[in-house]
């Protein structure tokens, strides 16, 4: 725990993709094995459902996207 606190204070905290709550388009594309263009299109079309627009980028809420995939027959 002490290591994590010092890492956070120095601004260099790293988590694996599976531990993150929100993923960038690139991270989500790698994690879910979906192309970047398709992932961006899904994020744009489903803003508020499993993606949020923060600043100049889309972020994917990993748990909500997992649920979206489970409920979808095609993406």
Q: Over the stretch 47-60, which tens digit does the pLDDT of each residue have?
A: 999 999 999 999 99
Burial class of residue 28, CB neighbours in 10 A (0-12, 13-18, 19+): buried
Give the alpha-carbon dihedral of 63, 67, 61, 45, to 10 degrees. Answer: 180
Architecture in CATH for domain 19-71? Alpha-Beta Complex (3.90)
In sequence order, the β-bridge partners of residue 54 are 57
pLDDT for residue 3: 54
pTM check: above 0.85 = no
């Amino acid at each position: 725990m002490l290591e994590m606190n010092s890492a956070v204070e120095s601004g260099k905290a790293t988590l694996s993709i599976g531990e993150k709550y929100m993923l960038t388009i690139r991270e989500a594309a790698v994690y879910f094995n979906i192309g970047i263009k398709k992932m961006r299109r899904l994020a744009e079309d489903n803003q508020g459902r499993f993606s949020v627009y923060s600043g100049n980028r889309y972020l994917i809420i990993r748990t909500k996207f997992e649920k979206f995939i489970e409920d979808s027959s095609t993406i």
